[in-house]
Structures are given as structure tokens and as C-alpha cells.
Structure 1
Amino acid sequence: MVVKPYPLNPQCSTVHINIGKENYVYFYYTAENKRKQVKYKTGLNKVGVTKKEREKLIKAMYNAIHDLLTTKIYDGRTFNEIYKKPVMPSFNQASDAYLENRKQFLSDKTITNYELGITFFRKYLLKIDKANIMLDCIDGELIENYIIYIKSYISPLFKKPLSKFTIKEYKDRLGAVLDYWFTKKPVLSYNPMKSIRLGYDLKREYQDNTTVFTVKQLQDIIEYTKKHRKPPYLTFLLMIYYTHLRPIEICRVEVKDISMDKRMIYLKAAKSKTRIARKVALDAPIYNHLCMIGVDFSDISIQDKYLFSYHGNARIGFVGEQIYNHKNMSYSFKKMLNDLGIDKKFNKYNLKHTANVHEIIYEGMSFAEVQAKNGHTLSKTTEVYLRDLKDYYHENRNEEKERILKFDI
């Protein structure tokens, strides 16, 4: 049988079969004007094997060696994968690929924020006449100049510099694109952002005041809402506090997602910010509250409707076809804080932070329980919500806690 030459291995001869006292498959390898025979005989000389079975083994070995010489490169000792030098993309191509990858895991809003940082860098490249720069041409010097640029940039719309957090986000986004093509798509030999120290001093300043509501403040908010807001407004705030759901996730909850029989909210992955499905238990306070809001959760006609919707004039209401936008509550929430004399730095989301701290200090829950209620996979994510625990504990501890362990001292 005539075998065509092997383009990947011109130094190798065609494959041959030797049948006799010793059966083996072989080819010749030539290097530096020396030729050696490369033999393969594993399993071809077994005792007790019939002639037909031995022929099958030899044929299989022959085909395997032939395939290796056709698809891989023989270096005199072993077969190696064909190395294809990766194609170096431009920054525009690289950032587009990065965003497409992130869309599998992140919400549209988060992707939009990512795009802002990437677009800002693209505008900078256009400004310095490097709009089509290749990814491997982005070096430490260019990044340093970019960071200096964004720190001195004046927004034409707001007539003021970018905030230090916006600067950090823009810088981190560029670093994420470079890291993606260094680790996930090994095209870059290193991430130039790792060697840059300029601009890494953008750390959050320490704040003495906490972002957790005290028990009295929370009770004042509840009483104020009962008196000056519609019932759905209070329900929305209580849902944040007791279920640990984000405001946007609560807006996406439909009536069919709530099982009053099982006292559970089944949040689908498409409705979760993290794109991970969750089961959220309804604790007694929020369960009893939902029983009194006048919504029949077993009514088939409203199963596909949102629990929170609009009821005229952008006012929040129960059950409707249109999804409610929680940002419509922002002004009224700030006004309520102002009327109650509470620092206006707080927002609705702080109710989620507050719930985590209150549950550990007052409800006696463990860190693991709080982590599970939040649906966090990593403990360090929960730690973000509990960063104010120490300050809150010292500022609001009015009496000594009774110790469970008592020693005869």
C-alpha cells in the first residue's frame, strides 16, 4: 500500500509493517544525515491471540501511527501538537470579545457600565491617533499616560473632573480586558496593567458614619411610610429587608414566583442580577405582611403579572402588567429621610445591608446563615455587606450581653 508523504513530517518515511518472529509497525526518522528506525510493537506479540485478532491489532496500530504523522509533529522522541501562533487582535476586537464573554454571566446594566469604561479608553486612543492599536502594543507607558489623562479629564456635561471611583472603574475595566487576553485567551505574554502603580491610590476613604440603619431609624421609616405612603411602598421596603433581594430583583418578581403554601420565593436565573436561580424563604414577619396586603396569590388570572406595578402617575401599586422601576421611589425615599432627620447618604439598598447586620447582632444568626440568605457563593461577598458590622456594634451597644458560658471565677 502506497502512503502519501507527510507534509508535517518530511523527515519521516512512510509507515511499514513487519510480520515475522516479532510483529511491529515502524517508520524511519532522518535527522542530521542519520536515519533511525522508530518501532511500535505494544500488544502486537501477545500469546494466545488468534491470527485474525492479531491482524486487527496490527492494522489498528498502523492507522494510529499514520494519523499521528498526519496531524502531529514528531521530534525524534515523541509526537507534539501543532503550534499555531495566535492571531493578535486590535484593542477594539479584543474588548468586543471580552464584552461578549461577560454577557453570559452579567446583567445588561452591568454590561452597560463596563462599556462606558471601554468606550472612554477607545476615545482616548482616537485622541492620540492610535484608534486601531494592536493589543500587544498597549504597554505600561501608554497606560500611565491614560491614567494621567482620566485623572485630569473635565466632563463637558458636568463641568467637573471624574470622581475617583469612576477613574478606578475605567482603569479596572482596561485591566480586565488585558487580563482576559492574558489568562483566558493566552495571546498576551503578560498583563501590562500589573506593572503599573500609578493610580492605585484610589481607595475608599474611611468613613466614621455607618451605612446601616439603627433599630429606631428603621422603625421610624416604617411608621412614616404607613402614614405618608401607599401600602405597596411599605411592602417593597420590607421585601428588601426581609428577603435580602435587590430592588431590581423585587421589581422582576411575578405573582407566580411566590408560593405562600411553601413560604418561598422562587427567583429564576433570568430575574436575578447574578443570573443564578435562588430560593428565598419568607420569614414570619414578611409572610404575615403579604397575607394582609389583599393579593390572592392563588388567583390564576394574575399569575403572570408583576407583584409591583404602576397605578397612575408613576405611583407604585400591587399587581400589574408593567414592571415597576424602583428608581421612581428614590426622590420620595430621600424626602422621607430628610423629614426623619436621617443622613441622606442612605438609600433603599442600605436596607439590605441593615438586614445582614441586624440578623447577626439581634437575631443571633451565624455568618453562614446570612451568607445562605443572601445567596452568596463566596464568603467574601457577604463580608462586603458586613463591613460596617464592627462600627455599628460599638456605636449601638447600649447594654452588656448576657453570657451563655458561665464559669466559677
Structure 2
Amino acid sequence: MLSFNELLTFEYENEYESAYDLSVKRNFSIPKIYSANGDLSKRWYIYFSFRDPKNGKLERQTPFYGNANKYRTKEDRMSVLVTYRKVLLRLLGQGYSPYSDNIELHKSLNAKNTVGIIYDLPDNNTTPPSEKPKMTVKEGFDFAIKLKEKLVSINTKRDYESKIKNFLKWLSINHPEIKFISELNKKLVVEFLNDVLNRNSARTRNNYKTDLSSIFQVLVDNEIIEQNFIKKIPKLKSIPERNKTYSQDTQEEIFCYLEENDPILLLYIKFISYNFLRPIEVCRIKVKDIDTKNKTIRFKAKNSPLKTKIIPELLWTDLPDLNKLDKDAILFTPDKIGGTWNTMVGNRRDYFSKRFKRIVKDHFKLGIEYGLYSFRHTYITKVYRALMRDSSPFEAKSKLMLITGHSSMTALEKYLRDIDAELPEDYSTMLKNVYE
């Protein structure tokens, strides 16, 4: 005797249309799909009732799962269950009964190729069983972003959304015929990246490539598209933007000028200079992040969720009495130390960058190569050269790693090379010996 699961699975794999005689009194209820309100962590299935031949009542039958729950997207899972339900309706209409031997029915179905009308279902689950539901380009990207937002920071999500918005705008102008996410291809994305390159820089173009590739990988992982062809697009060589270190005289002139003209900006710069924080890390600081007893600060760093650093005495003496401030207050706001500022941390960083340009760069006529990062480079260089006076290079770098917070010696050494912190001693005697 064939079991219900065996019969239904077989008929799913060998599906063909069959007639359903509406004149026959139904001995079964219309099969329904249970989708757990879209929760993919729960099991989805088909359920129905069949009239018990002994008591004449409709009795709920064992739910049918099939292979539906192995699929990882709602669209795929629903498509499979819709097909199962369609086949089940056909079997029920042709005489299948969970209370009897169905061998003769099975033989009959294999011997005939009946074409007919499938019972008209009362809901909207009409997706063709042989096709996956098509997603528009925007729907595909929205789906990927929704999954990504659980894994990335708010700022990263905003970067994704911004780049996708620009891509969709470009697509609507240059290729309005493209409607579905499956229609995108490598040639089209290369065309878009070339447009980004023409309007911006190689670095910006590479950033677009990286972010779009990340989004496309989500679509591949969820079997919405077949491959991430963006991975095959080469990365262009770009010249990194680099902030130069300040000379001793320029740095002192800037500090003296800000003491009179913008003390808040000066203290902001001192956190970058003395604590070696990045501008956005300073913008994240709240009053409660500073331990007044141990003179330490906790902050979210670039490559780690949370770091702790000491606050050097040189900086500590410039801080106001933090015990008088609201613990949840943002440390740096436009008009005071310790206050409310309801805007994204990226907007805070941009504000202080523009304020620095207006107050400092324009006044001292500094070039594009000088910025807030230049103070971090300047003071790391100072500390490293001071350590080198009494230590070997390895000892000096080991001590410096504790101060700067670099995650590895390799990362620190690359950073020191990039900012030209490592300079050799005078080699004049070597040059003289060459000519003697």
C-alpha cells in the first residue's frame, strides 16, 4: 500500500494537469497552506480534512511537509507548497482517500494523461509551480538590505542604501527596460562602475564595487540570483588620500589660535592628538564613557566593538568637571561640552570637519592634504620618535601598540610607514665613505 507521503511526492515530481469534477460531492476540505506568518524558523505545511467513511464527519488529516522546509526563502518555500497543494487537489478530485488502498489510483494516473481544470482556489496563492517568483530590481535590493541590517552598523546600512539608490537612478535613465533582478549582468554593472569612475575617483568606484558585491552575495545566498558576477570585476588601483603631519610650529600656532577662538574645537582636536582617537570615535563619546576615578575612556573603535584607553594627564587637566554633567549627554556638541545632539554620529563628524575647515584651514590657508587626521599622525610620530631614543625599534613599537591601539605589529608598521614616522639617522658619513 502506498503511503500518502509517497504518493503525493511522486505526483509532485511527475505533475500533469487533471480534471476536477465539480458535480461530485466533496469528501474533503480545500487544502490550506500554513506559512507560520512568514517565520522561516518554523515548519510550513499543507493541511486538510477528509470525510471518515465510518462516521461521515470531516476529520483533520496528518499535515504534509514534503521537502518545503529545506528551502531558505519565503518565495521558494511558498512556491513548493503551492505546487504540493495543486497536486493534492487533483489527487483528491480523482478519488484519493487516506482511508483506503490507493494502488489502483496510482496505476490509473500513470496510464492516463488527463488534461483538465484545477479546482479554483479561493486565495491568492497562484504562483506557477514551475517558476520561481520574479523579483524586481528594487524588491531584490530591499530584500538584501533587510537581511543586511541585522549584521551591519547603521552607517554601513546607510552606505548600502545610498549606493543602491544611485544605481537604481542610473538604471532607470540608462536601461529602463531592465525590470527584474535576474536581468542584471556583469556588463551592465561594469558600465555603471565606469560611470562612477568618470564622475568621481577610482577609490569611490572601488567602494561601489565592494558594497554592491556584498548585496549581490546576499541574493546568491538566498537563491534569488545564480551568481555574484561582481566578484569577477577587477578592483582598480587607486592612490590613497593621505593627511600630512603638521610641523611643530604650525601645530602650536593652531592650538594657540583655537584657545582664543574655539575652545570646544581645540578640546575635540586634543582627543584626536593626545588619545589618538579617530574623529568619528570622538563623536561617539558620551559623558558616561569616561571613568573619572581611573581616568580611562571606553569607546567603539574602527575594528572592534569596544576599547578602553587611559586619558593622559595632559588631556585630563583640560576636561571640565564631568561629575556635574548628565551621564547620557554627548561629550561634544556644537555649543558646549556635555549636551544633547539628536543627529547621527556621521553627521556629527561631518559637522566638526566643516567647522575645522572654516575656523582653522581657511584661516591658516592649509591645503587639502591637512585635516583632523593630521593631528593623530603628528602626535603618533612624536611619541614613536621619543620612544626610539631609549629603545630598540621592536621595543618602541611594542610600547606604541599599547598607546595607539593597533591590533597587530604589522598594522602598526604599515601605519608608521604611511605617515613617514620612521626616518633613518643621518647617513652623511656613509655617503662620504663612498667617495673616499
TM-score normalised per structure 1: 0.59
Query: Given the alignment of the two structures, is residue 298 of structure 1 paired with residue 317 of structure 2, yes or no?
Result: no
Q: 1:129 aligns with which of 166, 176, 199?
A: 176
Distance 1:378 1:120, change over 3 A: farther
- Could you tell me how far apart the structure 2 residues matched to 1:84 and 1:332 are? 49
Query: Given the alignment of the two structures, is residue 191 of structure 1 paired with residue 228 of structure 2, yes or no?
Result: yes
Contact kept? 2:298, 2:309, Cα under 8 Å: yes
- Could you tell me how far apart the structure 2 residues matched to 1:310 and 1:151 are? 35
Query: Given the alignment of the two structures, is residue 333 of structure 1 paired with residue 356 of structure 2, yes or no?
Result: yes
Residue 111 of structure 1 corresponds to 157
Contact kept? 1:338, 1:344, Cα under 8 Å: no
Q: Is the partner of 1:347 in helix, strand or coil? A: coil
Q: 2:251 aligns with which of 195, 218, 223?
A: 218
Distance 1:82 1:201, change over 3 A: closer
Contact kept? 1:302, 1:319, Cα under 8 Å: yes
Q: Is the partner of 2:331 in helix, strand or coil? A: strand
Contact kept? 2:243, 2:371, Cα under 8 Å: no
Which residue type is aligned with residue 134 of structure 1?
I
Q: Is the partner of 2:246 in helix, strand or coil? A: coil
Q: CA deviation at 1:238?
A: 0.6
Q: CA deviation at 1:148?
A: 3.8
Q: 1:96 aligns with which of 142, 156, 177?
A: 142
Distance 1:373 1:178, change over 3 A: farther
- Could you tell me how far apart the structure 2 residues matched to 1:381 and 1:393 are? 14
Which residue type is aligned with residue 345 of structure 1?
E
Residue 367 of structure 2 corresponds to 343
Q: CA deviation at 1:109?
A: 3.7
- Could you tell me how far apart the structure 1 residues matched to 2:275 and 2:151 are? 23
What is the percent sequence identity of the aligned residues?
A: 19
Q: CA deviation at 1:171?
A: 3.2
Distance 1:105 1:353, change over 3 A: farther
Q: CA deviation at 1:239?
A: 0.7
Which residue type is aligned with residue 258 of structure 1?
I
Distance 1:255 1:332, change over 3 A: closer
1:42-94: CA deviations, max 9, x gaps?
xxxxxxxxxxxxxxxxxxxxxxxxx9xx8778xxxxxxx95789556443233
Q: Specify every segment of 5 or more residues in structure 2 that has no aligned partner in the other structure, as ranges.
A: 12-61, 77-131, 389-394, 428-436
Distance 1:134 1:332, change over 3 A: closer
Contact kept? 1:122, 1:131, Cα under 8 Å: no
Q: CA deviation at 1:220?
A: 3.3
Q: Is the partner of 1:211 in helix, strand or coil? A: coil
More helix by share: 2
Query: Given the alignment of the two structures, is residue 318 of structure 1 paired with residue 337 of structure 2, yes or no?
Result: yes
Contact kept? 2:163, 2:208, Cα under 8 Å: yes
Distance 1:130 1:361, change over 3 A: farther
Contact kept? 1:94, 1:177, Cα under 8 Å: no
Distance 1:344 1:196, change over 3 A: closer
- Could you tell me how far apart the structure 1 residues matched to 2:308 and 2:275 are? 10
Q: CA deviation at 1:262?
A: 0.9
Aligned residues: 305
Which residue type is aligned with residue 319 of structure 1?
G
Q: 1:245 aligns with which of 252, 257, 277?
A: 277
Contact kept? 2:202, 2:236, Cα under 8 Å: no
Q: CA deviation at 1:202?
A: 4.7
1:102-123: CA deviations, max 9, x gaps?
4345443443333222112212
Q: CA deviation at 1:386?
A: 4.1
Query: Given the alignment of the two structures, is residue 265 of structure 1 paired with residue 262 of structure 2, yes or no?
Result: no
Residue 352 of structure 1 corresponds to 376
1:262-313: CA deviations, max 9, x gaps?
111133x6xx6768233232123222333xxxx22223x63333333343xx
Contact kept? 1:308, 1:318, Cα under 8 Å: yes
Contact kept? 2:196, 2:204, Cα under 8 Å: no
Residue 309 of structure 2 corresponds to 280
Residue 331 of structure 2 corresponds to 307
Residue 239 of structure 2 corresponds to 204
Contact kept? 1:106, 1:274, Cα under 8 Å: no
Q: CA deviation at 1:237?
A: 0.7
- Could you tell me how far apart the structure 2 residues matched to 1:356 and 1:383 are? 12
- Could you tell me how far apart the structure 1 residues matched to 2:164 and 2:180 are? 14
Contact kept? 1:117, 1:171, Cα under 8 Å: no
Distance 1:211 1:275, change over 3 A: same
Distance 1:102 1:215, change over 3 A: farther
- Could you tell me how far apart the structure 2 residues matched to 1:372 and 1:8 are? 66
Distance 1:321 1:175, change over 3 A: closer
Q: Is the partner of 1:279 in helix, strand or coil? A: strand
Which residue type is aligned with residue 321 of structure 1?
T
